Structure formats: C-alpha cells, structure tokens
Amino acid sequence: MVCDRVENEAKPRNFALDRIASFRKTAVEFRYSKSFLFNRYFEDFVGVTKHDSNDKVIVRMKLTSSTRAKYLVTKPIHFTQPHSQDAKGNYIFELHVIPNLELEAKILEFGPDMEVLEPKWLREEVKKKVKVMMEVYANGGV
C-alpha cells in the first residue's frame, strides 16, 4: 500500500507489486495524515481493495450445504458475519461490508452452495459472472 498526496492528505492506495515497472524518488516529503486511522482502514471490506465510492451494505447469503456452512461458521469471510438457519435448515449469513471484487470472488468460490439474497444489485453481478462462466464452458473455452 502506498499513499497519494491529495489536498495535503495522504490517501492510501494499493498497487500490485508485480505490476510496478519502476519507481523514483521525489522531492515531496511523505507525511501520514493525522486523521487517517490505519488500524481501522480494513474493517469495512473483504481483502485489500477499498472502493471509496461504495457504501457499506448488508450482504445476505444462503448456504444450502451444511458442510460448507459449518466451514464458514468456523472460518468467516468477515468478522461482522452473524448467521442463522431458516425453516428449511439452510444457513443464512450476513456481512456488513463495502462490496468489492474480492468479496465477489469469495462468493463465487462457494459455487452452487452459496446464493446471494441481498442486495439485489450484488445478486445480479454474481448472476452475470456465472452466466459468462456457463458460456465459456459451454463453448469449449475462451
């Protein structure tokens, strides 16, 4: 993680190390923002990529596999993850996070065992990705 100077404030940004072609020293002295709380920065999302344009939402997911659900109980995606069971015995999980691509990847990791219930827009995003995946496999590859 590096910080950009934005209006005399250091704003954190992530860069993949394998994509950095070069770097150079500048005359600008780096100063941490006094208002930036580094130890709290990662609390609101999964992974390392925070999208400032997204708001924190409640993501509700259903797991139909009790084995996978028990795994998720012991190894949560995020620390804000309460769970319950519905009348059919399916596990319902909630995350209180800022959605990002790393969350979508984690959801897709569970394959057909996990269904996004809310928010609707995230459900549609996952649905689009699954549809593209189906087309790739149906057509014999990329």
Please report, rounded to a whole number, the percentage of residues in the chain having pLDDT higher than 70.
88
| Structural contact between residues 42 and 7, judged by C-beta atoms closer than 8 angstroms | no
pLDDT interval class at 1 (50, 70, 90): very low
Tokens for 55, please give them.
């708001």
Would you call 75 helix, strand, or coil by DSSP? coil
Taking the C-alpha atoms of residue 110 and residue 103, their distance in angstroms, rounded to an integer, is 11
pTM of the full structure: 0.75
Q: How confident is the model at residue 11 (pLDDT cuts 50, 70, 90)?
A: low
pLDDT band at 8 (very low <50, low <70, confident <90, very high): low
Strand 57-63 with 91-97, pairing: antiparallel
12 DSSP β-pair partners: 3
Of 71, 1, 77, the closest CA to residue 41 belongs to: 1
- The predicted pLDDT at position 10 comes to 58
Strand 2-6 to 83-85 pairing? unpaired
Residue range 22-60, pLDDT digits in tens: 888 888 887 777 777 777 777 888 877 777 667 888 999
The helix (H) or strand (E) run that includes residue 101 is helix 101-109
Q: At 123, is the pLDDT very low, low, confident or very high (cuts 50, 70, 90)?
A: very high
Structure tokens at 79: 């620390």
Q: State the Rg of the chain over Cα.
A: 19
